Amino acid sequence: MTIAVVPGSFDPITAGHIDIIRRAKDLYEHVIVGVVINPGKKPLFSLEERVEMVKDAVSWDPTIAVDSFTGLLVDFVKLHNAKVIVRGLRAVSDFEHEFQMAQLNRRLNARIETVFMMASPEYAYLSSSIIKEIAMYDGSVKGLVSPNVEALLRKALA
């Protein structure tokens, strides 16, 4: 069985993230969404809230697992016996960063491959940062995040 990990901070999870997860599930038998604790970022939502948001967002497929981690992504991937990391790319600027990370991960564990998926055109501009900024200024994020996430954003930013 091929296991793939879709990692991210998911602060919050967006329609673009869900699109990548759904497409990864079409390619791999088992998908694990890894919610990372990134000490370099100051998230709006707690780890527990982000994990719950992701679980809610992928509840359409009970075979998709959700777990959290800190530390090296390759260690998380190895822990779950996965062989593939799936990363979404929106623009060339994403590619530069993701290419560097993929090369480092390959150096750390050559048995793990990174697969890049281009964002679907309707989500190519979408990021968690943009979602938070729109919500902060009371703009509509309808259709860009789930109704549950929209409500949580409004509450967190109130």
- Asked about 128 being catalytic, the answer comes back as yes
Identify the helix (H) or strand (E) that includes residue 155. helix 147-157
- Asked about 23 being catalytic, the answer comes back as no
- What's the CA angle centered on 16, arms 70 and 69, to 5 degrees? 10
| Average pLDDT of the residues in 122-149 | 94
Question: Which residue ranges make up each domain of the chain?
Answer: 3-157
- List the one residue out of 87, 85, 73 whose CA is nearest residue 119: 87
Q: Of 9, 50, 128, 132, which residue is the catalytic one? A: 128
- 9 confidence band (pLDDT: 50, 70, 90): very high
Largest Cα span, the chain: 46
The yes-or-no verdict on residue 61 having pLDDT over 80 is yes
* Mean pLDDT rounded to a whole number for the chain: 95
Residue-level pLDDT at 92:
80
Q: Of 41, 46, 129, 154, which residue is the catalytic one? A: 41
For residue 44, the one-letter residue type is L
For residues 34-44, one letter each, b for 16 or more C-beta atoms within 10 angstroms of the residue's C-beta and e for the rest, the string is bbbeeeeeebb
Q: Of 17, 25, 50, 87, which residue is the catalytic one? A: 17
- List the one residue out of 22, 32, 23 whose CA is nearest residue 2: 32
For residue 148, the one-letter residue type is N
Q: What percent of the chain has pLDDT over 90?
A: 89
Residue-level pLDDT at 158:
85
The yes-or-no verdict on residue 39 having pLDDT over 90 is no
Which residues, other chains included, contact 2 with Cβ-Cβ below 8 Å and sequence gap of 6+? 28, 29, 30, 83, 84
Please give the C-alpha separations between residue 115 and each of 16, 87, 140, in angstroms, as whole numbers: 16, 6, 32
- Asked about 106 being catalytic, the answer comes back as no
Residue-level pLDDT at 94:
84
The yes-or-no verdict on residue 93 having pLDDT over 80 is no
Residue-level pLDDT at 16:
96
The yes-or-no verdict on residue 112 having pLDDT over 90 is yes
User: What is the rounded distance in angstroms from the CA atom of residue 107 to the CA atom of residue 37?
Assistant: 22
Lowest-pLDDT range, 65-69, 79-83, 94-98? Answer: 94-98
The matching CATH number, chosen from 3.20.20.140, 3.40.50.1000, 3.40.50.620, 3.10.450.750, for 3-157 is: 3.40.50.620
| Average pLDDT of the residues in 128-134 | 95
Q: Of 23, 80, 83, 90, which residue is the catalytic one? A: 90
For residue 155, the one-letter residue type is K
User: What is the rounded distance in angstroms from the CA atom of residue 142 to the CA atom of residue 136?
Assistant: 14
- Asked about 17 being catalytic, the answer comes back as yes
